[in-house]
Amino acid sequence: MLDTDALRSFLAIVDSGSFTRAAERVAKTQSAVSMQMRRLEERLGRPLFVKDGRGVRLSADGETLAPYAREMLRIEAAALAAVSGEALAGRVTLGMPDDFADWLMADVAKDFSRRHPLVELSMTCDNSSTLAARVAARELDLAVVTLSAEVEERGKRIEIIGAQPLHWVASRRHSTHERRPLPLALDGPACPWRQEALAALDQAAVPWRMALASRSRAAILPLVESGLAVTVLPPGSIRGDLRALDETSGLPALPDARVGLTIAAGPSHEAKALAQSIRAVAQASMTGKAEAA
């Protein structure tokens, strides 16, 4: 028999990429999670993790176990909910900007679906201002947004759940940030990150030009990776051929982006449960450190 509590910790490591963040998610100490993993490996007789630099990554056997573990926990949760008669089984709609997809959307969906397997979760991406207005109009149950004066004006019941540092981001293979006017690839005029970036450049008297204005990350990132523009991203979205520019780049510092949660009036039990998952995952994502046992 496999210990489902240990499988829960195992999947928390898989989803968060860190023993430290996994421990926070399952409300255990890091040493307790490490002990669970050692016992699980002993039970299976196979290593689930292998060393990867200063951290660890899943072994081939760990990759094999993960989908089975998810299905076992889904069935366990469904059985407990059905027998107890307290199952949440409705539908809930969530809005989230495209910029949050990399570091928040997948983890929220996994956490909520594991806890409430009978609830249908529908997710949509749009800019923060539009999402806040749609929640206020009760077209969406709740939304995660980047706070700005416009968002706070159009939305209601906005709760601050954290802050994300913003970085100027350029290609690892080019010195695009040294060009003047500085070529930029940013979201549309309603984007709070764009507004903060342009205000910082203007205040620092750094000339700029808009190489691309698009609401599509799929359009912006290739342009930046090819060295044709600079953009603005939080740490969780910087990957591949992208690099965060430091204070030696000659570009002004950017303020943190405040992240808010807005919930429609008269929320359902399903919406309240999803809000709890969002708070927990966002806190772990924004405060946790990528450490391993």
Could you report how far apart the first and last alpha carbons of the chain are, in Å? 25
Q: What is the pLDDT at residue 102?
A: 66
Amino acid at 216: S
The tens-digit pLDDT sequence of the chain (293 residues) is: 889 899 989 988 887 778 887 888 788 899 999 999 999 999 999 999 988 776 778 999 999 999 999 888 878 877 777 776 666 777 899 999 887 776 788 888 888 887 887 788 888 988 888 899 999 999 999 999 988 877 777 766 789 888 888 999 999 999 999 999 999 999 888 788 899 999 999 999 999 999 999 988 888 999 999 999 999 998 878 888 899 998 899 999 999 988 999 999 999 888 999 999 999 888 777 765 333 33
The number of angstroms, rounded, from the C-alpha of 134 to the middle of its chain's C-alpha atoms is: 21
- pTM of the full predicted structure? 0.66
Q: What is the pLDDT at residue 293?
A: 34
CATH architecture type of domain 91-163+262-287: 3-Layer(aba) Sandwich (3.40)
Same fold, 4-84 and 167-255: no
Residue ranges of domains in the chain: 4-84, 91-163+262-287, 167-255
CATH code, residues 4-84? 1.10.10.10
CATH 3.30.390.30 at 167-255, yes or no: no
The H-assigned helical ranges of 145-290 are: 149-154, 192-203, 217-225, 269-287
